[in-house]
C-alpha cells in the first residue's frame, strides 16, 4: 500500500511540475507569435494524441513520463525541408533575441510562480507547527552564549540596529528567519517570553559559515524544540535502560539535574557519558501527576560507526511531544510569505550547488527520482499541506536546475542569447555542438551521482 501511495504521489508531482514548466514555454511562445507544433508530456511512444483545430498544436502524452518538451517551428529542425514563406514569421529562430530569451526563461519562471502559489495556499489554509519554544541549549553554542536557558518562547526577531521587529509565529518561522540572518552574517535580537516576562537576547550569527548552514543548522546554533514531553517509547532487551528499570511511558524530566524536554539534547548528553553513571529524574506513567523518582543508569559504551569513537547508549526509544500552534495568514500576507519563502529556497539551492562544486558540501546532497518518490509518498501521507509544500520545494529545485548555465538546459540557451545580445552574433553551430556534448556529459554525471545516492539510501551502503 505504501509503495502504491509513493508511486501515485510521485506521478502526480512529476506530472504537475512538468505540465507547469512546459506550459510556461508554451504560453509565452504563443504570446510572442511563435508556432507551437507539439506539447508533449513524457518522451518516447505516444499514448495519447490530440490536435487542436484552432492552433494546430499536437498535444501528446508519451510512454516515458520523466519530463516533457514543447516543439516550436524552427528552420534548424526541419531536416532540410523548407518552411513556407508565409510561415517564416512564426518560426522560433526568426524571433528577436529577447523574445527567444523570454520564451526559454518562461519555463523556470513558471516553476517559481507555482511554488509561490502553493506556499501561499499552505499559509492561507493554515498548518499545525511546533511552537517556537526552545530547549536548554548545549554549552558554548550561539544560543547558550546569547543567554537562553530553555523553556523560553521566541515571539519576535529584529536586526541589532533596527527598531522594527518581525513576529515569530512558529518553529518553522523562526528557522527561516535565523537562516536568512545567518546567510547575511548578522547580529540579531530575539525577543522571548517566559514565566518572568519578555526579555531580549542578542544572537551573533556573523561567525556562521555557509558550510554550517545545512539540515542541522538549528542544532549548530543550539536551538532545539522545547517545552514538550520526553517519554520512553521502547526499551531494548538487556540494555542499560532495562537494567535500570526504565519502562514504556516513563517521562524523562531531567538528567544529572539538567531539565530535559528534547530528545536530541538528551541523546547527545548520553553519548558523551559512555560508561559514566548518570541520574535521571523520571515521572512514572502509572503514578500520580508530579510524583518523581530518581533512576541511576550507566550508558553502555559502543563504537560509533561514523566517527570510530566510543559513545554511550542506553537502549531506549524516545518520543517527544512538543507544544504546537495553528498558523494561518491572510491572502495578501500569504502571497508575500510565499514569494519570500520561494526566494529564500532558490537562493539556498544555488548556494548549496555552488558549495558542492567547490567541495564545501557533500555530493550526497544530490537526490534522484527514488528519493523524490519516497518523499512524495511520505508527504502525501502527512496530509495536503505537507504534500503541497513538497511540491513547492521540488518545483523550486526544478526551476533552479534549469537555470544553471549548462548547455542542453534552459540556462545554457539563455547564456547563448546573452552572448548574442552583447556581441551581436549568434553562437556558431560548431560551438553549440561542442558545448552541448559537454553539457550532456555534466547532466549524465549528475544523474549518475543522484542515482547512486538514491541506491545508497535505499540499501544503506
**What is the C-alpha to C-alpha distance for residues 76 and 416, in angstroms, rounded to an integer?**
16
Among 264, 259, 240, which residue's Cα sits nearest to residue 316?
A: 240
Q: Is 210 a catalytic residue?
A: no
Task: Give the pairing of strands 324-327 and 127-130.
Answer: antiparallel
CA atoms within 13 A on the CB side of 99: 16
For residue 38, give the 3-state DSSP assignment: strand
Quick one: DSSP state of residue 228?
Answer: S
**Look-up: residue for cell 556529459?**
441
How many Cβ atoms sit within 10 Å of the Cβ of residue 178?
A: 26
Q: Which residues contact 328 (CB under 8 A, 6 or more apart)?
A: 123, 124, 125, 126, 127
DSSP 297-333: E-PEEEE-TTT--EEEE--EEEEEE--EEEE---HHH
Task: Locate 117 and state its grid cell.
Answer: 502559489
Check 6, 22, 129, 283 and give the catalytic one. 22
Cross-strand bridge partners of residue 153: 133, 193
By 3-state DSSP, what share of the chain in percent is helix, strand and coil, each rounded to 5? 50, 25, 30
How many Cβ atoms sit within 10 Å of the Cβ of residue 143?
A: 27
For residue 61, give the 3-state DSSP assignment: strand
CA atoms within 13 A on the CB side of 100: 24
Catalytic residue numbers read: 22
Amino acid at each position: 500500500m505504501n509503495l502504491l501511495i509513493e508511486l501515485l504521489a510521485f506521478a502526480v508531482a512529476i506530472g504537475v511540475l512538468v505540465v507547469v514548466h512546459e506550459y510556461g514555454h508554451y504560453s509565452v511562445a504563443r504570446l510572442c507569435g511563435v508556432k507551437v507544433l507539439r506539447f508533449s508530456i513524457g518522451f518516447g511512444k505516444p499514448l495519447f494524441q490530440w490536435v487542436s483545430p484552432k492552433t494546430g498544436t499536437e498535444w501528446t502524452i508519451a510512454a516515458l513520463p520523466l519530463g516533457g518538451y514543447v516543439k516550436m517551428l524552427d528552420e534548424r529542425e526541419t531536416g532540410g525541408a523548407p518552411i513556407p514563406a508565409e510561415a517564416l514569421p512564426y518560426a522560433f529562430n526568426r524571433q528577436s533575441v529577447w523574445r527567444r530569451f523570454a520564451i526559454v526563461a518562461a519555463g523556470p519562471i513558471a516553476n517559481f510562480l507555482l511554488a509561490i502559489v502553493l506556499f501561499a495556499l499552505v499559509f492561507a489554509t493554515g498548518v499545525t507547527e511546533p511552537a517556537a519554544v526552545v530547549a536548554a541549549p548545549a554549552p558554548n553554542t550561539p544560543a547558550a552564549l546569547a543567554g537562553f536557558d530553555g523553556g523560553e518562547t521566541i515571539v519576535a526577531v529584529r536586526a541589532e540596529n533596527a527598531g522594527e521587529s518581525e513576529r515569530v509565529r512558529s518553529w518553522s518561522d523562526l528557522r527561516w528567519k535565523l537562516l536568512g540572518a545567518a546567510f547575511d552574517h548578522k547580529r540579531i535580537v530575539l525577543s522571548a517570553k517566559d514565566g518572568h516576562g519578555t526579555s531580549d537576547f542578542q544572537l551573533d550569527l556573523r561567525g556562521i559559515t555557509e558550510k554550517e548552514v545545512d539540515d542541522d543548522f538549528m542544532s549548530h546554533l543550539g536551538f532545539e524544540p522545547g517545552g514538550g514531553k520526553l517519554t520512553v517509547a521502547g526499551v531494548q532487551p538487556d540494555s542499560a535502560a532495562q537494567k535500570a528499570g526504565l519502562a514504556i511511558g516513563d517521562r524523562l524530566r531531567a538528567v544529572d539535574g539538567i531539565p530535559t524536554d528534547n530528545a536530541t539534547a538528551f541523546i547527545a548528553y548520553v553519548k558523551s557519558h559512555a560508561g559514566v553513571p548518570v541520574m535521571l529524574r523520571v515521572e512514572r506513567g502509572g503514578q500520580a501527576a508530579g510524583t518523581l523518582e530518581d533512576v541511576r543508569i550507566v550508558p553502555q559504551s559502543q563504537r560509533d560507526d561514523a566517527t570510530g569513537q566510543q559513545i554511550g547508549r542506553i537502549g531506549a526509544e524516545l518520543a517527544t511531544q512538543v507544544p504546537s500552534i495553528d498558523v494561518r495568514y491572510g491572502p495578501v500576507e500569504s502571497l508575500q510569505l510565499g514569494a519570500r519563502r520561494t526566494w529564500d529556497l532558490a537562493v539556498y539551492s544555488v548556494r548549496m550547488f555552488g558549495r558542492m562544486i567547490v567541495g564545501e558540501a557533500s555530493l550526497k546532497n544530490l537526490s534522484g527520482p527514488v528519493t523524490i518518490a519516497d518523499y512524495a509518498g511520505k508527504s502525501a501521507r502527512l496530509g495536503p499541506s505537507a504534500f503541497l509544500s513538497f511540491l513547492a520545494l521540488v518545483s523550486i529545485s526544478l526551476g533552479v536546475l534549469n537555470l544553471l548555465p549548462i548547455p542542453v538546459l534552459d540556462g545554457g540557451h539563455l547564456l547563448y542569447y546573452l552572448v548574442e545580445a552583447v556581441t551581436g552574433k549568434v553562437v556558431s553551430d560548431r560551438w553549440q555542438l561542442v558545448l552541448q556534448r559537454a553539457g550532456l556529459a555534466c547532466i549524465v554525471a549528475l544523474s549518475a551521482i543522484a542515482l547512486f545516492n538514491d541506491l545508497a539510501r535505499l540499501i544503506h551502503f
